[in-house]
Structures are given as structure tokens and as C-alpha cells.
Amino acid sequence: MKSQLTQRQSNKQIRSSYKRIKSVLYNLVHSFFSLMNWVASMLPMDEFIFDVMREKGINELKIYFSKNKIYPDGEYSQKICKSIGAYMKWLPALAHSQDVDSDKIRNIVVKVTKDNSAKDACELKILVTAIDDRDLRHDVQVR
């Protein structure tokens, strides 16, 4: 009986997959904030993060994707909360499409800050941060 050899990833492939975590994070958050990418079952989407920030006078908001929480605490629409959950469910497929194991990505936090220097009143600075399974931090600025 012949033993089956499994092909092991090279160190170069492994390092490369960690480098692609930033791409996965960028695509996840860019899609979440895109006006065209809301989860179809929740349309029409009539409330957006920047609307909530403006209405509540919030200058900085943090979305803990991994915990499905938004801070500062307050009342946020069910659609926004369900959308966060839907995007986390999409994460494994998105990561797989970029040859990244989604189990490597932990504690995804998005910091949304109003850009007071911008001409457009609803322009935001968006920073997504995640920790990988080696406890290394990955930061990505999303525009």
C-alpha cells in the first residue's frame, strides 16, 4: 500500500498568504461601505453609517465586526447590525478567493472618523485593523 503524500505549502506561499490579509480586509470594508453592496434581502437600505454619525453628532465610531458591535453604544438600526453579520459570514468566501485562510484573521475593528477638513460633509476616514493568528496587527486605510 502506497502512502499518500500531501503537498505542503512552501514558506514563501505561507508568507504571501499573510500579506494578502490586508487585501481581504480592504475588500471586506470597502464593500461594506459601498452604497451598492448592501445585502439584497435588506433592501431598500435607508440608513447608512455616515447618516447615523451625522444625526447623532458622532465624530468617531468603531465597528467591531468580529463581535457584531458598534461603539459608542446606542441604538443602531437592525439593518446595519444584520449587515455587519452578513459581511462576517461572507469573510471566509472572500478570504478563500484570495488564497487566505479566514481562520488567520481575528478581531476585525473598523474605526470611522469624520474628516472635518474635507469639502464633502459626509467624507469619512476609515481604518480597518485586524490581528492574525500570530498576534501581528494589520492596518488598512480604506477610501
Which pLDDT tens digit goes with each residue over 43-57?
A: 455 667 777 788 888
17 occurs within a structural domain: no
113 occurs within a structural domain: yes
Distance, first Cα to last Cα, the chain: 56
Residue 27 — pLDDT band, cuts 50, 70, 90?
Answer: very high
1 occurs within a structural domain: no
Short-list 76, 81, 102, CA closest to 91: 102
Length of the chain: 143
- What is the extent of the structural domain holding 85? 39-142
30 occurs within a structural domain: no
Distance CA 118, CA 139 (A): 22
28 occurs within a structural domain: no
27 occurs within a structural domain: no
Which residues have C-beta within 8 Å of that of residue 62, sequence separation ≥ 6?
A: 70, 71, 109, 110, 111, 112
State residue 43's pLDDT score.
47
Number of domains in the chain: 1
Residue 26 — pLDDT band, cuts 50, 70, 90?
Answer: very high
Which residues have C-beta within 8 Å of that of residue 21, sequence separation ≥ 6?
A: 100, 104, 105, 130, 132, 138
